[in-house]
Amino acid sequence: MLKGIPKILSPELLKVLCEMGHSDRLVISDGNFPAESMGKDAIVIRCDGHGVPELLDAILQVFPLDTYVEKPVNLMEVMPGDTVETPIWDTYKEIVAKYDERGEKAIGNIERFAFYDEAKTAYAIIATSEKALYANIMLQKGVVVDS
């Protein structure tokens, strides 16, 4: 056990977060995301029984977002014609604002199939049991600045 580390961050997940370098990307996926097929060239970590918001909040406590890009956080856009509501995105905005001074300005959207293409190049994909639709989120790692 370690002090100050959120308990939801498993040793395997902490190791991966630590291994990641500047500009590496991490996908936290909802329960419908094809994590295993998208993650053939990535590390796939199962976090069954957990939702995206609780993992996002814990990860951002230890994971710096990239300050060299305008949108280090990206969401999967809703497909045209889908009438899906995405209230979980408001939760994401609140969580990101707790850890990044840019707040919701740090969050962008990527078209669904472009998101899949980007996910295939991610360093790691965390597969959750999140039931909300369009709840996938991609984070780009920044650098730790010693203050």
Assess whether 123 carries a catalytic annotation. Answer: no
Assess whether 50 carries a catalytic annotation. Answer: no
Amino acid occupying residue 34: P
- For the cut 70, the answer to whether the pLDDT of residue 133 exceeds it is yes
- For the cut 80, the answer to whether the pLDDT of residue 60 exceeds it is yes
- For the cut 70, the answer to whether the pLDDT of residue 147 exceeds it is no
Q: Token match 């998208």: residue?
A: 38
Q: Where are the alpha helices (DSSP H) in the chain?
A: 11-19, 35-38, 52-60, 88-99, 112-119
Assess whether 134 carries a catalytic annotation. Answer: no
Q: Give the confidence band of 93 by pLDDT, cuts at 50, 70, 90.
A: very high
Per annotation, catalytic residue among 24, 50, 99, 116:
116
Written as six digits, the tokens of 86 are 């995405």
Q: Which of 72, 111, 107 is nearest to 93 (CA)?
A: 107
24-140 fold: RbsD-like fold (3.40.1650)
- For the cut 90, the answer to whether the pLDDT of residue 144 exceeds it is no
The CA-based diameter of the chain, rounded to the nearest angstrom, is 47
pLDDT at 61: 97
List pLDDT tens digits, range 27-56: 999 999 999 999 999 999 999 999 999 999
Report the DSSP beta bridge partners of residue 44. Answer: 125
Per annotation, catalytic residue among 30, 57, 66, 100:
66
Return d(Cα 93, Cα 65) in angstroms, integer: 14
Return d(Cα 59, Cα 28) in angstroms, integer: 10
